[in-house]
């Protein structure tokens, strides 16, 4: 399925394209519930991932969903309109689980994938610095909501966590053998903080890398570099300065030196993994394939260009690709 779909999307099922009518958030949840109902009818456990494409350019909310935001500019109105539909779809998902009488035995885990966009009013990053594509908190910090009615006590937690924690957490919660996980994994299991009460400190730091920028969060301490390998670092105390306004780097503080050491070690590990050194196959990208490849360059997609060239979610990409040829 495409990452850029909002209204009346084209989705892919087992390699075949299908055209749908309606909001993409509600369509993907409807399809997910069909799968879940089938599993529940057979009393089978299930694992379902719902990839929302919203909110995302080209921002195409229905007129009805835009109505609550009459004073906003056109882009912001559509952005928030898309969130209205997403919210409605999450309600439909939770209702569906309750109707199947499986809500109490189902872990529902929602989180964003990156920070909010610049230019959206009112802003979606509040007081945080930076936006999507930044390694400041406005680009990295996202909401996460977990629901497991019989196991997780409702509360607000500030325990540092990240998407890399999802895999090891679910492995442990499902009672699977943790030894089946590759030894090279950046996340930790959150079973303790989730089920046994709040833990004050995270034992492992959280690393980030975007293009050649990097960051690391180690409980309250945050490291930022605009150029990996440059030796230039910014350091912030998120407990006192969540907006990252005061760079406290420059001293011989032992905690600062330690987070720099941890960041360098993590970057080296990422580079090893990218080269395939951490995996028995010896490679990550399939052999014979270039490191980076765009769907626009694949002949099987190019055959659809005449049909898709005027669709809002594809037009700017197809136009740019054809201009560059």
pLDDT for 291? 65
Pair (3, 87) in one structural domain: yes
pLDDT for 286? 72
Pair (95, 23) in one structural domain: yes
pLDDT for 1? 43
Pair (244, 263) in one structural domain: yes
pLDDT band at 110 (very low <50, low <70, confident <90, very high): very high
Pair (1, 68) in one structural domain: yes
pLDDT digits (tens, 9 = 90+) for 111-150: 999 999 999 999 999 999 999 999 999 999 998 999 999 9
- Percent of the chain at pLDDT exceeding 90: 75
**Top-confidence residue, 226 or 297:** 226
Pair (87, 11) in one structural domain: yes
Last residue of a domain, one of 86, 106, 126: 106
pLDDT reading at 28 higher than 90:
yes
Domain assignment present for residue 68? The answer is yes
What is the mean predicted confidence (pLDDT) over 25-40?
97
- Among 266, 261, 290, CA closest to 278: 266
Domain assignment present for residue 162? The answer is yes
Last residue of a domain, one of 106, 140, 175: 106
- Structure token pair of residue 37: 């109902």
Pair (257, 294) in one structural domain: no
**Top-confidence residue, 325 or 7:** 7
pLDDT digits (tens, 9 = 90+) for 153-206: 999 988 999 999 999 999 999 998 877 777 788 899 999 999 987 677 899 999
Q: Is 3 exposed, middle or buried (0-12, 13-18, 19+ CB in 10 A)?
A: exposed
Q: State the chain's mean pLDDT as an integer.
A: 92
Domain assignment present for residue 132? The answer is no
Pair (289, 244) in one structural domain: no
**Top-confidence residue, 53 or 97:** 97
Q: Find tokens 């490849």 and name the residue.
A: 293
In this prediction the pTM is: 0.90
**Top-confidence residue, 284 or 1:** 284
pLDDT for 226? 98
What is the mean predicted confidence (pLDDT) over 230-252?
94
- Percent of the chain at pLDDT exceeding 70: 97
Q: Find tokens 């919210």 and name the residue.
A: 87
What is the mean predicted confidence (pLDDT) over 92-118?
96
The DSSP-derived string for 78-135 is HHHHHHHHHHHHHHHHHHHHHHTT-GGG--EEEE-SS-PPTT-SS-SSTT-S--TT-S
**Top-confidence residue, 288 or 132:** 132
Q: Domain total for the chain?
A: 4
pLDDT for 87? 97
Domain assignment present for residue 310? The answer is yes
For residue 279, give its domain range.
205-283
Query: Comparing 91-105, 208-222, 301-315, which segment has the lowest mean pLDDT?
Result: 301-315
Domain assignment present for residue 69? The answer is yes
- Structure token pair of residue 27: 């369509």
């Amino acid at each position: 399925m495409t990452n850029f779909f909002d209204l009346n999307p084209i989705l892919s099922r087992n390699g075949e394209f299908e055209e749908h009518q309606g909001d993409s958030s509600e369509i993907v949840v409807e399809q997910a519930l069909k799968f879940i109902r089938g599993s529940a009818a057979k009393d089978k456990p299930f694992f379902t991932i719902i990839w929302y494409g919203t909110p995302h350019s080209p921002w195409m909310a229905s007129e009805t969903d835009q109505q609550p935001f009459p004073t906003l500019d056109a882009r912001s109105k559509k952005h928030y309109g898309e969130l209205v539909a997403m919210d409605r779809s999450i309600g439909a998902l939770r209702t569906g689980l309750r109707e199947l009488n499986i809500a109490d035995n189902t872990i529902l885990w929602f989180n964003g994938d990156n920070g909010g966009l610049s230019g959206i009013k009112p802003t979606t990053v509040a007081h945080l610095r930076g936006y999507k594509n930044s390694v400041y908190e406005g680009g990295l910090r996202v909401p996460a909501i977990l629901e497991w009615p019989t196991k997780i006590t409702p509360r607000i937690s500030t325990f540092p966590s990240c998407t890399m924690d999802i895999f090891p957490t679910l492995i442990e919660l499902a009672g699977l053998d943790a030894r089946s996980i590759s030894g090279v994994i950046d996340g930790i299991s959150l079973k303790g903080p989730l089920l046994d009460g709040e833990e004050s400190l995270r034992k492992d730091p959280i690393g980030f890398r975007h293009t050649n920028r990097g960051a690391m969060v180690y409980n309250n301490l945050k490291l930022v570099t605009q150029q990996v390998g440059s030796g230039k670092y910014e350091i912030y105390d998120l407990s006192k300065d969540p907006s990252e306004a005061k760079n406290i780097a420059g001293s011989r503080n032992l905690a600062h030196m330690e987070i720099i050491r941890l960041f360098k070690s993590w970057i080296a590990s990422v580079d090893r993994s990218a080269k395939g050194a951490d995996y028995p196959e010896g490679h990550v990208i399939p052999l014979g394939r270039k490191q980076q490849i765009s769907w626009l360059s694949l002949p099987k997609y190019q055959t659809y260009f005449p049909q898709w060239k005027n669709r809002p979610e594809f037009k700017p990409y197809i136009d740019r690709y054809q201009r560059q040829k």
